[in-house]
């Protein structure tokens, strides 16, 4: 008889580890579509770097993408990619260590990424500023469209000796 195996929901990573990893990128210059700590990154590159620091190897290669924050395409590409790799949570449940996606313009798709470091602060990479930590003002909070938790790294299986 074949029985179905039940996959348990992924467990979230330690939020303190995520916050520490995000803060380790502070001061990294802005560079579109890059992800090198201390050298350059954009907002997605920051999230990718935090993933590598906390979870491990990136799950899929990232295709080239547009910088256009006003993009009105109906397809939420950034959300779809995040939903495949991270743990989706309600926006109102987001807290330190969680990644949030922002809609930068009304009617546009989510195109900006930040990592919450406290209930009222976040780290992100911004054109001309690079990676900074700043207050999560009402203006930023209103733009949050989606929230996710980083998964805990999978343990390597032990080989029987």
Cβ distance 75 to 141 under 8 Å?
Answer: no
pTM: 0.87
In a domain, 6, yes or no: no
In a domain, 129, yes or no: yes
Residue 20 pLDDT > 90, yes or no?
Answer: yes
Compute the distance between CA of residue 137 and CA of residue 78 in angstroms, rounded to an integer: 23
Question: 34 is in which domain, residue-wise?
Answer: 15-58+70-149
Band of pLDDT at residue 155, cut at 50, 70 and 90: low
In a domain, 155, yes or no: no
Question: Across-strand partners of 149?
Answer: 87, 98
Structural domains in the chain (count): 1
Could you list the beta-strand ranges (E) of 33-140: 35-36, 40-41, 87-89, 98-102, 112-118, 121-126, 130-135
**Averaging pLDDT over each range in 34-38, 59-63, 77-81, which range is the top one?**
34-38
The domain that contains 126 carries what CATH number? 3.90.1720.10
């Amino acid at each position: 008889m074949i029985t179905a195996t039940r996959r348990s929901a992924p467990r979230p990573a330690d939020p303190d580890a995520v916050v520490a990893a995000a803060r380790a990128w502070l001061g990294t210059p802005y560079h579109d579509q890059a992800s090198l700590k201390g050298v350059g990154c954009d907002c997605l590159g920051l999230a990718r770097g935090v993933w590598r620091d906390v979870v491990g190897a990136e799950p899929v290669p990232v295709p080239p993408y547009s910088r256009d924050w006003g993009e009105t395409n109906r397809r939420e590409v950034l959300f779809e990619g995040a939903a495949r790799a991270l743990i989706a949570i309600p926006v109102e449940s987001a807290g330190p260590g969680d990644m949030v996606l922002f809609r930068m313009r009304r009617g546009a798709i989510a195109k900006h990424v930040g990592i919450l470091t406290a209930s009222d602060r976040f780290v992100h990479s911004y054109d001309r500023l690079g990676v900074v930590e700043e207050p999560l003002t009402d203006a930023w909070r209103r733009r949050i469209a989606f929230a996710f938790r980083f998964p805990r790294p999978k343990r390597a299986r032990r080989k029987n000796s």
